[in-house]
Structure 1
Amino acid sequence: MGNTVVEAVRGLVPALADRAQETDTAGRVPDKTVRELIDSGVFRMLQPRRHGGLEADPVDFYAAVRAVSAACCSTGWLASVLGVHPWHLALFSGQAQDEVWGSDPDTLLSSAYAPVGRLTPADGGYQLTGHWSFSSGCEYARWALLGALVVGDQGRPVDFMTVLVPRTDYRIEQAWDVVGLRGTASNDIVVDKAFVPAHRVIRNYEQAQLSGPGQQVNPGPLYRIPFAAVFTTAVTAPVLGAAAGGYESYLSVMNERVRLSLGGGRFAEDPYAQVAIARAASDVDAAILQTDRNIAELLAHASDGRDIPMELRLRTRRDQVRGTERAVAAIDLLFKTAGGNSLRRGNPIERAWRDAHAGSVHVANDTERTLAMYGRGAFGLTVEDNLV
């Protein structure tokens, strides 16, 4: 079924490419596009079968995201982050899942995972207050997954949670005015003293230990692989797609271009340009191969009931951040060698360059910190981090 969705998504690519400039200019993905993505099934790829989902191979999900992102990275970013949230919700209690999907399995969720919320224990749950930034696609969602700290009697944080909040309990503040990924409309979410029942909360520690209440109703292997792998790869996949799309645009535009200086002649005959496209193509291919390999191995371990070794978890994160680095390096090289024409607003190379750089600054792409974690593990030192 995952392959069927990938083919359906690829059928949308020409129309998405035609709307890419409109999306960038308007600062939001058109409603028509979101409807098409819903109908394609991409948002249900990682959703549990018990709620109308496909429980598809995540490698297929990331392939679908890259295909969308090659046409329009803002749209691909929404496909990825809104599409990965059903996987996360599947780790919550069955009651929470029923509340979200019980009446409409196409219900979407946005997120803002930074632990800026304040949770105060209350009878039967918690009281939540906070202001979160960068909730991509929040206007299309009816629920939000938000990061928060539980505050103890002394006013100090005692636990790190992710909480599930309905649209009726928060407001959206328009704050998204940026240079890249402009169409994601990643606006702010504000909550003021909302009650969150205990069944809509999950401890990040449990999540990192590959356990959660949702596994009682969703026993499939898809829900027994690390959040740190599934979500961070969902951040890298659109950046890889943008680089791949920029590469294809580069070949199309530059193939027939004639130089007006440096001796003239067809651009395609320039050996330096030939080397540039070889390097760019290799970087993108290498990143895709590594990320797909790691996700496939994680799922294979879970499918076989084997423990997932820390080495594999660390390698997955290593290759994920390096994948983003490789994608940015590829589009940088193409942008530079395309010459002055790449500076024109609205051309696909320029947009891919902006979008890839915007995606690269997400906290999931904290390269030095992530590579240091891998190095600690390689030296046999203890690694304790929820993002592994």
Structure 2
Amino acid sequence: MYQDFTPEVNGVLAGVRDLLPTIRERAEEGERLRVIPDASIKELEETGFFRLLQPKRYGGMEADPVAFYTAVRDIASADGATGWVSSVVGVHPWQVALFADEAQQAVWGDDQSVRLSSSYAPTGKAVITEGGFTLSGKWSFSSGSDHCAWVLLGGLVFNEEGQVVDFRTFMVPREKYQIVDVWNVVGLRGTGSNDIVVEETFIPEAFTLSMGETGQCRGPGQAVNTSDLYKLPFHSIFTSTIATPIIGMAKGAYAEHVEMQQKRVRAAYLGEKASLDPFAAVRIARSSSEIDAAWALLMSNIREEQAYVARGEQIPLELRLRVRRDQVLGTARSIEAIDALFEASGGRALAEGTYLQRAWRDAHAGRVHAANDPERALQMYGAQQFGHKVDPGMY
């Protein structure tokens, strides 16, 4: 089934698929707790999922990112919140691999199963000090933070004159930040995407990564992690991480809609079987095509970037912007498919416990993530096609 991947990675994907019925059963519990149940995280850890993108030097698999996205899509097809947390937490080992080895050792040296959450918006402030930075601030939407021992935080760097001189990611251990429970929402409720607060604390330079350098597909960790995996663009990897769970939600919504319609009898239409309605057939044809297109374009673009890296060539700006174009449109296609399926499913889709109503809420919640802002990504692509300069920090 997964012939493109190694036997080890195929085993992870098979293990994930075996967990899907249980993950789906726990969806209501996650909504009630407002956090993914510990048992689900533990079981996913046991499959090896969280090590897919982790360096081999620290017990990881350095797997094909398409394998990672495949696993995320499948998890989200069972529960959107679990898929979301799995995706954003599971991708962080990829970025940690770009940090200086001192930082990697601090995270995984004693325990290779350590996980990290994040909040990349530069709402924190960092001041240059001897040997590093003094960091402080509050960050929102750190999904899965309850299950993590470190956090990756975005912050603007200020010099002594108060001028902004850099935008960096700061790696902070659990004892240096607080998690503030604020996650009372209607969608992605189970993700526990709470606030992170850091009082003034010193972060050594080795535990930081310049986003300018990252935007150039570079990082000090590449000196020890030489796999082509770690030469792919940050924005391609991370924005695909945000789109993939929503594609998975659409996949799950489609499956439940088809099952519902096969059993549904429409009383308002004199007992007609819904599956015999030709318009219903057209709707699922259109929806399935949108979902398939979202997935196919997302993965084919990643494959094209991989091919450039394998040849030792620089990835063209046009391709990197195309990744963003198809990523945001893939999200839009998936949500449009979910909307169409939900609207055509009848009143029973409104019942608590159905996947459809939860996918509808979760997908629209995921849409508001900055990575899924279509206008900005599409404007960048169009501007580049017209020959205008595009800010390299945004792709």
TM-score (norm 2): 0.97
The equivalent residue for 1:125 is 132
Per-residue CA distance 1:126-162 (angstroms, 9 max, x = gap): 1000100000011111110000011122323221110
CA distance in 1, matches of 2:12, 2:311: 26
* Alpha-carbon shift at residue 385 of structure 1 (Å): 3.6
Aligned to 2:51: 44
The Cα shift of 1:25 comes to 2.1
The residue that corresponds to 1:333 in the other structure is 340
SS in 1 for 2:289: helix
- Structure 2 letter corresponding to 1:348: Y
The alignment of Structure 1 onto Structure 2 pairs a total of residues equal to: 388
Rounded Cα–Cα distance in structure 2 between residues aligned with 1:233 and 1:91? 18
CA distance in 2 between partners of 1:94 and 1:303 (Å): 24
Q: Give distance in 2, aligned partners of 1:254 and 1:359.
A: 26
1:95 to 102, 109, 112: 102
9, 28, 36: which one aligns with 1:2: 9
2:263 corresponds, among 256, 259, 270, to 256
| C-alpha contact (below 8 Å) 2:290/2:337 kept by paired residues | yes
- Secondary structure of the residue aligned to 2:298 is helix
Letter in 2 for 1:344: A
- Residue type of the partner of 2:74? A
CA distance in 1, matches of 2:32, 2:179: 21
User: 227, 233, 237: which is aligned to 1:220?
Assistant: 227
Please show how residues 286-297 of structure 1 align to structure 2 within 5 Å. 286-297=293-304
Match of 2:63 in 1: 56
Q: In 1, Cα distance between the equivalents of 2:257 and 2:347?
A: 13
* Residue 380 of structure 1 pairs with residue 390 of structure 2: no
Cross-structure match for 1:279: 286
C-alpha deviation, 1:344, in angstroms: 2.1
**Contact residue 260 and residue 345 of structure 2 kept, 8 A:** no
Question: Which of these residues, 231, 239, 246, is aligned with residue 239 of structure 1?
Answer: 246
Provide the identity percentage: 48
Deviation at 1:345, TM superposition (A): 2.5
Deviations 1:270-315 (A, max 9, x none): 1111111111100000010000101111112112211101111011
Letter in 2 for 1:232: T
Q: Structure 1 residue aligned with 2:181, among 174, 192, 199?
A: 174
Structure 2: how far apart are the matches of 1:299 and 1:168? 38
Q: Distance in 1 between matches of 2:40 and 2:287?
A: 29
Q: Deviations over 1:94-144 (max 9, x none)?
A: 110000000111100000000011101111111000100000011111110
Deviation at 1:263, TM superposition (A): 4.0
**TM-score, normalised to structure 1's length?**
0.98
Letter matched to residue 394 of structure 2:
L
Q: Deviations over 1:20-72 (max 9, x none)?
A: 12212221111111000111111100111111110000001000001000001
Is 1:21 the counterpart of 2:28? The answer is yes
> 1-side partners of 2:259 and 2:28: how far apart?
18
Contact 1:228 1:386 in 2 (8 A): no
CA contact (8 A) 2:187 2:362 kept: yes
Map of 1:311-330 to 2, 5 A cutoff? 311-330=318-337
Question: Residue type of the partner of 2:374?
Answer: T
**Alpha-carbon separation, structure 1, partners of 2:238 and 2:10:** 21
Determine if contact 2:127/2:160 at 8 Å carries over to the other structure. Answer: no
Alignment match, 1:142: 149
Letter in structure 2 aligned against 1:39: E
Contact kept, 8 Å, 2:232 with 2:306, in 1: the verdict is yes
Residue identity in the other structure for 2:116: L
- Per mean C-alpha deviation after superposition, the further-off stretch among 156-165 and 226-235 is 156-165
Aligned partner letter, 1:347: T
Match of 2:354 among 336, 339, 347: 347
Pairing of 1:182-221 with structure 2 (within 5 A): 182-221=189-228
RMSD: 0.9
| Deviation (angstroms), 1:3 | 2.1
Equivalent AA in structure 2 for residue 156 of structure 1: Q
Aligned-pair CA distance for 1:165? 0.4
- Partners of 1:152 and 1:290 lie apart in 2 by 42
For the residue of structure 1 that corresponds to 2:267, the secondary structure is: coil
Instruction: Give the residue type in structure 2 aligned to 1:341.
Output: R
Q: CA deviation at 1:172?
A: 0.5
Q: Which amino acid aligns with 2:35?
A: R
**Aligned equivalents of 2:287, 2:32: Cα separation in 1:** 27
> 2:375 corresponds to which residue?
368
* Distance in 2 between residues matched to 1:263 and 1:152, nearest whole Å: 74
Q: What secondary structure is seen at the aligned counterpart in 1 of 2:91? A: helix
What secondary structure sits across from 2:221 in the alignment? helix
Q: Does 1:299 align with 2:306?
A: yes
Structure 1: runs of 5 or more not aligned: none
> Does the Cα contact within 8 Å between 1:149 and 1:161 map onto a contact in 2?
yes
